Structure 1
């Protein structure tokens, strides 16, 4: 079961590196003009951190499949899409209204970490 999570994590990792490179080279002028270099870098960092977390969950699932782990992985993925995704779009378009959904992604990240704690306490 963890194989799917490992594949998704690997794809997300490649995407994080690609977006980071694209931001540093292809979007440099746009990000600087919008004053959003730091915002884009934050998006890439959280994207990569939680990609690694999804990979970790995939490794745990290789040992034992559990509904909590599936939910943890889902919350991390939603966090990447909502938190990092909204920051990516905000950085490029400067549509500040997108900043209002970014915290939902942060809540998703936090929820994933809390559920991971719950899983670890219950099973180890």
Structure 2
């Protein structure tokens, strides 16, 4: 089971990247004439954050850092919530989803902070 969990960042990052490419293409080719500038901006922001965090998760998985599961979970959940709410709003979802979007952003920030903390702790233990 431990090996399966250690592959989580790589699997999650790969799936988020695949979806990011698909959503980016869909936005550029399928939605450009259907959405207003605001909605297209939300869509583009969602794709950008999703792709940056997908690449980061792939790098995290490839690095095989100890204790990286929690940061990976936080980054993944944050990305899904952040990008997901923006995608839904762009497609006509309720505007109150905009109040949920920062929760995803906060989870992404927390994931990065936890990763930095874990890296500092690991470095101190090895010294």
- In the TM superposition, 1:69-88 aligns within 5 A as 69-88=68-87
Query: Following the alignment from structure 2 to structure 1, what is the Cα–Cα distance between the partners of residues 79 and 17?
Result: 11
Equivalent position of 1:24 in the other structure? 28
TM-score (norm 1): 0.88
The Cα shift of 1:49 comes to 0.7
The CA deviation string for residues 55-114 of structure 1, in whole angstroms up to 9 with x for no partner, is 1221222xx442xx1110101111111100000000111521110100000100100000
- Number of aligned pairs? 119
8 Å contact 1:79–1:104 — kept in the other structure? yes
- CA distance in structure 2 between the aligned counterparts of 1:40 and 1:31, rounded to whole angstroms: 10
CA distance in 2, matches of 1:101, 1:39: 14
Partner of 1:50: 53
* Separation in structure 1 between the aligned mates of residue 34 and residue 56 of structure 2, nearest angstrom: 30
CA RMSD of aligned residues (A): 1.5
Q: Distance in 2 between matches of 1:27 and 1:102?
A: 21
In structure 2, runs of 5+ residues without a counterpart are: none
Q: TM-score, normalised by structure 2?
A: 0.86
Per the alignment, residue 11 of structure 1 pairs with 15
Q: Which one has a larger percent helix, Structure 1 or Structure 2? A: 1
Question: Where do 5+ consecutive residues of structure 1 fail to align?
Answer: none
